Structure 1
Amino acid sequence: MEILVIAVAGLLVIAAGNQLAPRVGVASPLLLLALGAGVGFLPFVSAIELDPDIVLEVVLPPLLFSTAVSMPVMDFRRELRAVAALAVGLVAVSATIIGLVVHAVMPTIALPWAIALGAVLSPTDAVAITVARGSGVSQRIITILEGEGLFNDATALILLSSATAAGIAHSADALQPAALVSGFLTSLALALAIGWAVGEGSIRVRSRITNPTADTVVSFTIPFLASLPTDYLGGSGLVAAVVAGLVISFRRPRLLPPAHRQTAQQNWRTIELILEGGIFLFMGLQAYGIVQDVVDGGFGLRAAVLLAAGTGALAVLVRVAFVAPLLVWLRRVRRRHRQHLEEERQRLERFETRLEQARDIDDELLAKHGLSAEQWHQAVTGWRDRLERGQRRQRRRGADLDYFTADPLGPREGAVIVWAGMRGAVTLAAAQTLPLTTPNRPFLLLVALLVASGSLVIQGLTLGGVIRLVRPRMASRTADDAERERLLRLLGDAATSRHADALTPAEARELAIETIRVQRHALLDARDEGLFSSSSLEYALERLDAKEILLTTAE
C-alpha cells in the first residue's frame, strides 16, 4: 500500500510540475529535481537509492527510443558527422582529460578510477535536452544535441567498463587504446545490427495489426526487444533501442495507418512524461543518501564540492575547445560538398547528352556493337534508369547543401551547442554502476551528482540568457510558412484529376481516401529527396492523417 501511495503521489507531482513549469518560466525537469532534493532532505524521509540497472535497462531504453522515433531521420542523416564527432570523439577526449586532471589534483584517486569518473561525467543527456527544446533555437541545433545525447552513452559506458576493469586490476596499463576501439566497434556493430533488425521486423509486424490499441501495446515492447539481447551479447542496448526508433521513424508513415500512428504517439507522450519526470524526481531524492554516505565515510564534502565545480567547468572548457574546430571542419566539408556537387552535375549532363545521342541508332551501329535493336533498347533503358538514380541523388545532395547554407553553424550557434550540452540522469546512473569495492565510491558518486545537478540547474536556468546574449539564428516562422505553401502546392499537383460529381457518396469517400494516400506517397518521396524541411513535412503529414482518419471513421 505504501508503494502505491508513493507512486500515485509521484504521478501527481510530475503532472503538477509539467503544468507549473510554463507559468514560472523554469523547465519541468529542473522543478522536479529541486523538489526531489528538497523532499529527500526532510528529516522524516529515509535515504533513497535507485538501482542503476533500473535506470539503464528499464527507464532509458523507452525514453531514448521515444526520442529517436520523434526525430526526423532526414535531419539526423544530415547532421551525422557532427553527431558522431560529439558522441564519440568529444566523450573520449573529455573522459581522458578529466581523468588526468582529477588524478593530478587528487593523487589518492588512482588513474583508472579517475578516468572512470571522467567517463561518467563526459556524456550529455538526451533527456536533459528538453530544457533546450523550448528555447526557440533552430531545429538544426536541437537535432545535433539530441543526436549526441542518444549515442554518446555507448562511448561513455565502454570507457567506464574498461577503466573499471583497469582499476580492479590495479594497473593503468590495462587501459589499452586498441582494446577500447575494438570493444567500441564490436558494441556498436551489435547495436546497429540488432536495432535495425528489431526496428524493421517490428514495423512489418505492426503493419499487419488492425487494432490501434494492440499496435500501441506492441510498440511498448520494441525498445526492450532491441536492448535486452544486445546487452546480453555485450553490445550497447541503449544504442540498439535508438537505432530501432530511427528505423521506425523512417518507415512508419508508409507502413502504418494514420490512426495507429496517432494513437501510439499520444500514448508514448504520456509514457515519456512519466519516465522523464520520474527520473529527475528520483535524481533529487537520492541526493540525501549520497551525501550521508560521504559524511559517514569520513570524506570531505568541501573537497567533493570543489572537485565537482572544477570538473564541471573543465567539461565545459573541453567542449568549447572541441566544438570550435568542429564547426570550422564542418564549414570546410560544406565547401568541398559544393564543389563535388558541381562536378557531379556536369558529369550527369555529359551522360545525359550521350544518352540522347544513343537513341539515334542505325543498322551499322548495331552491327558494330553486335546487338539487336531490342538489346540496344534494353541497354538504353538501363542507362536511363541509372541517369534518373543519379539525378535523384543529385537533388538530395543539392537539398542537403541548401539546408546547410540556409542554417549555417557559426560561433553564435556553437556557443548554444556548448552551453546546452547538459549532464543528467545518465551521469548519476553510470556512476552508481561502479563496483562496491571502488575506492572512495561515495565520494565519486557525490561528485557525479553535483556535476549532473549543477549542470542542469546552472546551464538550464541560464540557457535563455545565453541565447539572448549571443543571438544565434532562431527558428524562422516566415520561412516555414512560405515553404508550407510550396508543399501544399505539391500535394495539389499529386492529387487525382478525377471529379466526384457523378459518384455516389461511398465512391466519393473512397476516391478522397485514395487521393490522400497518393499525396502522402508524393510527400514521402519529397522527404526522401530532402526537398522540404522536416517541420513542414510533419505539418503536411499531420494534415493528411487528420483528413484520412476523419474519412475512414465516417459512417
Structure 2
Amino acid sequence: MNGLEVAVLVGAVMLVGGVIAQKLRVSGPIVLLILGGAIGFIPLFDEIQLPPDLVLLLFLPAILYWESINSSLREMRRNLRVIVLQAVPLVLVTAGVVAVIGHAFGLPWSVAIALGAIVAPTDATAMASVAGRLPRRPLTILRAESLINDGTALAVYAVAVTASVAERTIQLGEGVLQFVLAYAGGITIGVAVGFVVVLIRRVLSNRLLANTLSVLTPFLVYLPAELIGVSGVVAVVTAGLVISHYTPRIVDASARTQVFGFWGLTSYLLNGSLFVLVGLELHAVIAEIDGDWETVLTLGLLTALAVMAVRLAWSFTTPYLIRAIDRRPSQRARRVGARQRLPIAWAGFRGAVSLAAALALPTTVQSGEQFPGRNLIIAVTTIVILVTIIVQGSTMGAIVRWARFPADDKAEEEYRMAEDRALTAVLDALPREADRIGAPQELRDLLEREYSERLDEFRRQGDDLDDRADGDDVDREGPLRLALLTIKRETVIGLRDRGEIDDAVMRRIQSRIDLEELRLSRSMPDEG
C-alpha cells in the first residue's frame, strides 16, 4: 500500500474506533489498538509497518510540543521534585530492573540495558487519554513526567545501543557524561530556539507566516538537538514552555485561534494514528519471531510486570523518604494519602515511542553479526505496550473513582478571582481609554453601566460571563470595546506572570476574550 492508502486506512480506523469507544464508553487508545491489530492480520494490509523514523522525527516532536505549550509552568515548578524523581531516577531504576531480567534471559548487558531504556518511559499520548479524569496536581505530574522521561530513556538508549554496536561494555563514567550532556544540551538549545522564535513572532505581522513558524517550531528545535547528539525531547519541551509563557502577549487573537485549532486537530490525529499503527505492527512482530515462543511470552510478561511493579513500589516508598527528610510545613501541607497516590502509580502506560525505539535498533553490529536479541526485544516491547495499555488503561477509571480525590476548587477560585480583577481593571481604565479614543460621554456611561452590571452579576452568581456586547452599534462602540478587552487580557496575563493564577485559568479567560475580539474586529468596517 502507498502512503495515501495507509493514511486513509488509518483515518478510517480512527473514525470507526472513536465512535465505538464513545458508544461503549471505553478508552479510545484500547479500541484503536485492538482494531489496528485485527486489521494487520488481514493479508491485504500485512505489509504495513510503523517506520521508527516517522515516530521519532515527526510524531514525537509535534506531540511533545503541543503538550508542552498546554502545560502549566507554575504547576510544574510547584511539583518539580516529584516530576523530576519520576522522570529521571524512576526511569533509570526501571531500566535497571528490566536489564537484570533481560540479562538473566541471555541478553548481553548493553543490549539488556537498551531493552530497559526502551520500556522504561511512560507515553505522553496515552497520558492524554486520562486527562479528563484527574485533578490538576496529579494530572500535571503525569503529563510533565511523560514529557520529560522520554529524554531520559532515549539518552540511556543511545549509550546502550552505541556500546552494543561497538561490541563493548558500557563505561559508567562515559555514560553518565553523555547523559548529563544530553540533558544540559537539550535545555540550552530549547531555551535558545524558544527565545529566537519569540523574537521572530514579535515582528511577524502576517498571520499565516506566524502560524507556519508555529508548525515548524518543534522540528526546528528537535532536529538540531539530535544532530549534535543531545536530547531533542528535552529541547522541544523546554522550547514549548518558553514559547507558551511569552506568546500570550505577542500573538493576536486571530493567529492564536487558528494555531490552537490546528494543533488541537493535529495532536488528536497523531495520537490516534500512533495507536492504530502500533496495532498494525503486531503481525510483523509475530512474523519475525524466530525463537521459543514460551521464552518470548515469559520475558514479555515478566518485563511488563516489572515495569508496573517498580512504578508501584516507587510511588509508595519515595514519598515516605521525602517526608523523613523534608519536614517543612509547606511540604506537609502538600502531602496526599496512599489512596490518592495510586492513580499516579497505576498510570504507567507504554506506547509508540517504546515500539519506535525498539524498531530503530540496528540490524547488525560492528563485526557484521546480527544485533543480538533484536526480534526478541521488539516482541517483548510489544507485549509490554499491550499489557500496560489494556490492563492499566481499562482499569484507570475505576482506580480514579476508588481514589476519591477531594474536590479541587482551587482552579475555580483562581478563575473567579481573575475574572473579578479583570472586570475591575476594565472599569478603572474605562475613563482613561475613552479619553484616549475620544469616545462620547453617552458611550462611556453605557459601557460603565454594562461592565458594572456584569461585575455585580458575576460576584452574585460566579458563572462564566459572555464578553459579547449587548449593543449592536459596533462602528461606534468597537474601538473602545477592543481597548477594554486589551486591558482585560493584560490584567489576566499579569496575574499569571505573578503566579496568582494557573496557565489553564489564563487560557480559559483568554479564549473568550479572543472570540469577542474577533467578533468585534470582523464587524467593524475596514479603514480606508
Q: 2:352 aligns with which of 398, 421, 425?
A: 425
Equivalent AA in structure 2 for residue 42 of structure 1: I
Paired position in structure 2 for 1:303: 295
Paired position in structure 2 for 1:43: 43
Secondary structure, counterpart of 2:129 in structure 1: helix
Q: Are residues 337 and 551 of structure 1, via their aligned partners in 2, closer, same or farther at CA, if it must alter by over 3 Å?
A: farther
Counterpart CA distance in 2 for 1:525 and 1:334 is 32
Q: How does 1:490-529 map to 2 (within 5 A)?
A: 490-495=421-426, 496-498=429-431, 502=441, 508-529=477-498
C-alpha offsets along residues 101-129 of structure 1, whole Å, 9 cap, x if unaligned? Answer: 2222x1x2122211111111111111110
In structure 2, stretches of 5+ residues that fail to align are 365-370, 444-473
C-alpha offsets along residues 172-198 of structure 1, whole Å, 9 cap, x if unaligned? Answer: xx3233222211121112211211122
Q: Are residues 180 and 468 of structure 1, via their aligned partners in 2, closer, same or farther at CA, if it must alter by over 3 Å?
A: same
Paired position in structure 1 for 2:33: 33
- Does the 8 A contact of 1:71 with 1:246 survive in 2? yes
Counterpart CA distance in 2 for 1:333 and 1:209 is 50
Question: Are 1:14 and 2:49 counterparts?
Answer: no
Counterpart CA distance in 2 for 1:19 and 1:212 is 35
Q: Are residues 527 and 329 of structure 1, via their aligned partners in 2, closer, same or farther at CA, if it must alter by over 3 Å?
A: farther
Q: Cα RMSD (Å) of the superposition?
A: 2.2
1:521 offset after TM fit, Å? Answer: 1.8
Paired position in structure 2 for 1:77: 77
What is the TM-score when the length of structure 2 is the normalising length? 0.85
What is the TM-score when the length of structure 1 is the normalising length? 0.81
- Does the 8 A contact of 1:327 with 1:414 survive in 2? no
Question: Are 1:188 and 2:115 counterparts?
Answer: no
Question: Are 1:553 and 2:503 counterparts?
Answer: no
User: Larger deviation: 194-203 or 115-124?
Assistant: 194-203
Equivalent AA in structure 2 for residue 293 of structure 1: E
Q: Are residues 92 and 42 of structure 1, via their aligned partners in 2, closer, same or farther at CA, if it must alter by over 3 Å?
A: same
In structure 1, stretches of 5+ residues that fail to align are 339-400
- Does the 8 A contact of 2:189 with 2:221 survive in 1? yes
Question: Are 1:236 and 2:231 counterparts?
Answer: yes
Counterpart CA distance in 2 for 1:3 and 1:51 is 12
- Does the 8 A contact of 2:296 with 2:380 survive in 1? yes
Paired position in structure 1 for 2:469: none
Q: 2:170 aligns with which of 171, 175, 192?
A: 175
- Does the 8 A contact of 2:13 with 2:36 survive in 1? no
User: Larger deviation: 329-338 or 239-248?
Assistant: 329-338
C-alpha offsets along residues 188-237 of structure 1, whole Å, 9 cap, x if unaligned? Answer: 12211211122221122223333333322221100110011111111111
Equivalent AA in structure 2 for residue 452 of structure 1: I
- Does the 8 A contact of 2:13 with 2:35 survive in 1? no
Counterpart CA distance in 2 for 1:549 and 1:111 is 60
Question: Are 1:150 and 2:83 counterparts?
Answer: no
Paired position in structure 2 for 1:323: 315
In our comparison, the structure showing a higher alpha carbon Rg is 1
- Does the 8 A contact of 2:10 with 2:277 survive in 1? no
- Does the 8 A contact of 1:123 with 1:427 survive in 2? yes
Q: 1:539 aligns with which of 481, 486, 508?
A: 508
Equivalent AA in structure 1 for residue 301 of structure 2: A
Secondary structure, counterpart of 1:472 in structure 2: coil
Paired position in structure 2 for 1:469: 402
- Does the 8 A contact of 2:159 with 2:178 survive in 1? no
Counterpart CA distance in 2 for 1:408 and 1:509 is 50
- Does the 8 A contact of 1:14 with 1:277 survive in 2? yes
C-alpha offsets along residues 277-296 of structure 1, whole Å, 9 cap, x if unaligned? Answer: 111111110110111110xx
Equivalent AA in structure 2 for residue 151 of structure 1: I
Paired position in structure 2 for 1:415: 342
Counterpart CA distance in 2 for 1:332 and 1:474 is 28
C-alpha offsets along residues 127-168 of structure 1, whole Å, 9 cap, x if unaligned? Answer: 110221132x11111111111111111211121122223333
- Does the 8 A contact of 2:69 with 2:241 survive in 1? yes
Identity %: 31
Secondary structure, counterpart of 2:301 in structure 1: helix
Paired position in structure 1 for 2:470: none
Secondary structure, counterpart of 2:328 in structure 1: helix
C-alpha offsets along residues 13-50 of structure 1, whole Å, 9 cap, x if unaligned? Answer: 22333344222112222211111100111234323322
Question: Are 1:448 and 2:381 counterparts?
Answer: yes
Counterpart CA distance in 2 for 1:112 and 1:481 is 50
Equivalent AA in structure 2 for residue 164 of structure 1: V
